[in-house]
Amino acid sequence: MKHLKSRSQDLRSLFENNITIEYVAEPLKAMPANAEVTEVLHWMQAQNFDVIGVETGDIISGYVERSSLMQSKEGTCGDYQRVFHPKELIAISTPLIKLLPILQQTPRLFVLDCNQVSGIVTCGDLQKAPARMLLFGLVTLLEMNLLRLVRIYYPQDSWQKVLKPERLEVAQRLWRESQERNEATDLLDYLQFCDKRELILNQPELLQQLGLKSKRFGERFLKSAEQLRNRLAHAQSLVSGSSWTELISLAEAMERLLILCEEVEIIEN
């Protein structure tokens, strides 16, 4: 049976054409340039803001960091204003998928809307639903492609001899339960992520084609992808036990692996 493939290019196209950083950015709160530092500092601490905009007239002309105000606590907000650097600015129309590698280089970005700064986006905003949708889409497509490769490299149910007996029993139990509900399809469809990982890593030729340096490296990498999938599925923090830099690196590596998976073309019988 020929299985239809969902392509990583389709996912990228969806997020490039329809989902921008507008859906994760927060409005940039601002205070007048002539506001007293003590007042601004008290307000920032109460709101737990690390940075706010500085208003000159009706325009946000710069920003101030809470850490800089705490050092002096004298004067006005404008005295500590920092000018927006071009590298700190990002257009509101920027595709969400292009935000990840940029955030890996900077802790925050100020959002430009009609040539005026109106918002802010940080790594923490990747916890929001649109970013989670992107990440879940990546890991789901990756898992689907791992299953496709299992079908290619293990014809005529030969995978059953490779999978550990206890893991095979789990798949068979889930398959039987689905049969009772008249939902069962193929036993392979009841393999879990860890099963697909083990089967893929058992093929030296695949390790080479997928750019996985070794079986140990591939196991560590795919376990990280599985852990991310689980955190996404259970609405948990995306950086539990890791960091934003590691998360973004993982997402980029998953996309590269997904593309390599899709390039594996062998005639399926």
Backbone angles phi, psi at 125, to 5 degrees: -75, -10
Q: With the CA atoms of 47, 50, 56 and 57 taken in that order, what torsion angle do they form, in degrees rounded to the nearest 10?
A: -30
pLDDT for the residue 6 = 56
Q: Buried (b) or exposed (e) across 137-167, using 16+ Cβ within 10 A?
A: bbbebbbbbbbbbbbbbbeeeebeeebeeeb
CB atoms within 10 A of CB 232: 18
Is the distance from CB of 84 to CB of 110 less than 8 angstroms? yes
- Name residues of the chain where pLDDT drops below 70: 1-8, 184, 266-269
The answer to whether the CB of 257 falls within 8 A of the CB of 210 is yes
* pTM, 2 dp: 0.84
pLDDT in tens, 66-117: 998 888 778 999 999 999 999 999 999 999 989 988 998 888 999 999 889 9
Residues 194, 240: contact at Cβ < 8 Å? no
At 47 the pLDDT is: 93
State the pLDDT at residue 228: 95
Taking phi first (over 0 means left), then psi (-120 to 50 degrees means alpha), and beta for anything else, what does residue 119 get?
beta
SS3 of the chain:
CCCCCCCHHHHHHHHHHHCEHHHCCEECCEEECCCEHHHHHHHHHHHCCCEEEEEECCEEEEEEEHHHHHHHCCCEHHHHCECCCHHHEEECCCEHHHHHHHHCCCCEEEEEECCEEEEEEEHHHHHCHHHHHHHHHHHHHHHHHHHHHHHHHCHHHHHHHCCCHHHHHHHHHHHHHHHHCCCCCCHHHHCCHHHHHHHHHCCHHHHHHCCCCCHHHHHHHHHHHHHHHHHHHCCCCCCCCCCHHHHHHHHHHHHHHHHHHHHCCCCCC
Q: Structure tokens of 142?
A: 């990756």
Give CA–CA dist 160/188, Å, rounded: 9
